[in-house]
Structure 1
Amino acid sequence: MEYQYPCSQHWTTEEIIAVIDFFQAVEKAYEKGIARDEFMSQYRRFKKIVPGKAEEKKVAKEFEELSGYSAYLVFQKAQQAEDNKMIFMKSQSSL
């Protein structure tokens, strides 16, 4: 799949990499599965860069529109999962 990840011109290179890593973790949950702890670690890094709920929703919605993958649904599933469990998501739609 070819698309650009959402990012802000105000983020540093390291912050952009961390945000991309988070969205790649979301992709991994849909494409082959990801360990809950790995996903939550990426989410915590993401939240240090995007701490506000409004900005988080905006960036996550932009990513979902581009990719078809919901960061919110993966996060919900990760919250419900036990430590060290794998998270597998079903694709919502095919783009």
Structure 2
Amino acid sequence: MDYEYPFENDWSMEEIVTVISFYNCIEKAYEEGIARDELMDGYREFKKVVDSKALEKQLDQRFKEASSYSIYETMKQAKENDYIRMKL
């Protein structure tokens, strides 16, 4: 991967690590597939840092522009499937 992860400048190192861990889950969903439980665990931790829906949408847009991977579409699939394997 040759892109930068979007994050906020006022986040602590721990918060950045948490959000990047969730981005890794999204990448895994596209690149090899991921179990819903693993994805949801990452999302719950992500939401502790990103507690605003507006910020979540902004980060999703920035992440999608950088990587072509959609947080929204991946989480939508997680509502319907036990195993998520996304396609571009």
**Which residue of structure 2 lines up, in the alignment, with residue 4 of structure 1?**
4
C-alpha distance in 2 between matches for 1:61 and 1:33: 21
C-alpha distance in 1 between matches for 2:85 and 2:56: 22
**Which residue of structure 2 lines up, in the alignment, with residue 87 of structure 1?**
84
Alignment of 1:18-37 (within 5 A): 18-37=18-37
What CA RMSD, in Å, does the superposition of the two structures yield over aligned residues? 0.7
TM normalised by structure 1 equals 0.89
Moved over 6 A (4+): none
Quote the offset at 1:86 in angstroms: 1.7
Alignment of 1:41-80 (within 5 A): 41-80=41-80
TM normalised by structure 2 equals 0.96
C-alpha distance in 2 between matches for 1:47 and 1:63: 16
Deviations 1:44-77 (A, max 9, x none): 1101100111000001110000000001000001
SS of the residue corresponding to residue 80 of structure 1 reads coil
Quote the offset at 1:79 in angstroms: 1.3
C-alpha distance in 2 between matches for 1:31 and 1:14: 25
SS of the residue corresponding to residue 90 of structure 1 reads coil
Which ranges in structure 1 are unaligned for 5 or more consecutive residues?
Answer: none
Identical-residue share of aligned pairs (%): 49
Quote the offset at 1:16 in angstroms: 0.1
